[in-house]
Amino acid sequence: MARGGHATIYRAVQDSVGREVAVKVENHRLENDRDQRRFLREARASGRLSSHPHVVDLFDVGVTEDGHPYLIMELCDGSYGDRMTSAPLSAVEARDLGVRIADALVYAHEFGVLHRDIKPANILYSHFNSAVLADFGLAILAEHRDTSVTLEVMTPAYASPEMFRHSHPSPPVDIYALSATLYAVMRGRPPRWREDVNPGLLTLMELFAEPIPDLPGVPTALIEVLRAGMANDAASRPTAAQMREMLSSVSLVGGPTERAAESRPGYGVASVKARGTAPAPRQSDPGAGGTLRRLFNWPRRG
């Protein structure tokens, strides 16, 4: 299905329950302590959070015979990274998407988990769920702060200024990334990026000094919320709970009706006002190991 620098995603069938799943297999074996910590970080973070309706479901984890760790997750239809390049979201869609993911962050931060790599490609959708936060590959638990992977595998376009300085990780990094993501899915490109070129690392750092421009057709009230979330000073950004409420409070006139909105891929009108009012969490299958019908060949390295 997809291949990245650290992992390959396969489509498979879990024979024990007859459902299609996504299997994320690490491209490298767990050959050292750092790789083991990274895999355990993702497994523990995903396991703690997968009961939330807007976090991807994790069914099982394990290691292949040749040493490649894997995670078995719910299968989704696409990502907002794909969606924004072909059909950028309207202001209403972006606001509602933000409410859902902010609610997931409230839940994550209450557990002491930071995501640290929120971006359009890591927000997925399916026929049954318009937004789930995926890929906790950089996620860290509060009791195991680790800044060693920051510049190596973060996504610079959605990273906050402090991420470039190896600062102690904290919840505001997720707020910045979420705000930058919501701006990007409406614009079709990350904040401040020029239309004709992808900036280098040094240019990206210089862009933090530039203001966040308005977007055509997007009400100023929504842009102001996103500007607050992308404040260069981490202490000035709202918390996840405040961000959720700020987005929920933005009144947008002339948006799509619920029926029209639900007909578009990866979108539905948000009803989340607080975590307590979110839809009932879907039940994970604790015994979901089962036997996977091999619709793929495990990656092997010499």
Q: Give yes or no: residues 136 and 250 share one domain.
A: yes
108 and 184 in a common domain: yes
Q: What is the pTM of this model?
A: 0.77
Q: Is residue 157 part of a domain?
A: yes
Q: Are residues 147 and 160 in the same domain?
A: yes
Q: What is the pLDDT of residue 138?
A: 55
Task: Mark out the alpha helices in the chain (DSSP H runs).
Answer: 33-49, 80-86, 91-110, 150-153, 172-187, 201-207, 220-229, 240-249, 258-262
Domain region containing 233: 78-277
Kindly state whether residue 153 falls inside one of the protein's structural domains.
yes
257 strand-pairing partners: none
Q: Decide if 301 is inside a domain.
A: no
Q: Could you give phi then psi for residue 37, rounded to 5 degrees? A: -65, -40
Is 142 in the same domain as 240?
Answer: yes
We report the CATH number of the domain holding residue 194 as: 1.10.510.10
**Is 116 noted as a catalytic residue in this protein?**
yes
Site of tokens 């202001």: 91
- The answer to whether residues 68 and 206 belong to one domain is no
Which of 110, 103, 112, 113 has the alpha carbon at shortest distance from 178? 103
What pLDDT, on the 0 to 100 scale, is given for residue 266? 53
Residue 50 and residue 99 in one domain: no
**In terms of domains, do 212 and 135 share one?**
yes
Residue 51 sits in a domain whose CATH number is 3.30.200.20
Q: Which ranges of the chain have pLDDT less than 50?
A: 143, 148-150, 255-263, 267-302
Catalytic residue among 116, 187, 237, 244: 116
DSSP run (H or E) holding 24? strand 19-26
Looking at the fold, whether 61 and 140 belong to one and the same domain comes out as no
Does the CA dihedral 265-269-275-279 come out positive or negative?
negative
Domain count, the chain: 2
| Residues 108 and 133 grouped into a single domain | yes
Report if residue 300 sits inside a domain. no
* Contact status, residue 112 vs residue 172, Cβ threshold 8 Å: no
**Residue 302 forms part of a structural domain:** no
Tell me which DSSP letter residue 121 carries.
G
Let me know whether 261 and 232 are in one domain.
yes
Residues 239 and 181 in one domain: yes
Nearest to 122 by CA among 64, 67, 164, 82: 82
Task: Specify the pLDDT at position 196.
Answer: 58
Q: Is 56 exposed, middle or buried (0-12, 13-18, 19+ CB in 10 A)?
A: buried
In a domain, 299, yes or no: no
| 246 and 187 within one domain | yes
DSSP β-bridge partners for residue 234: none
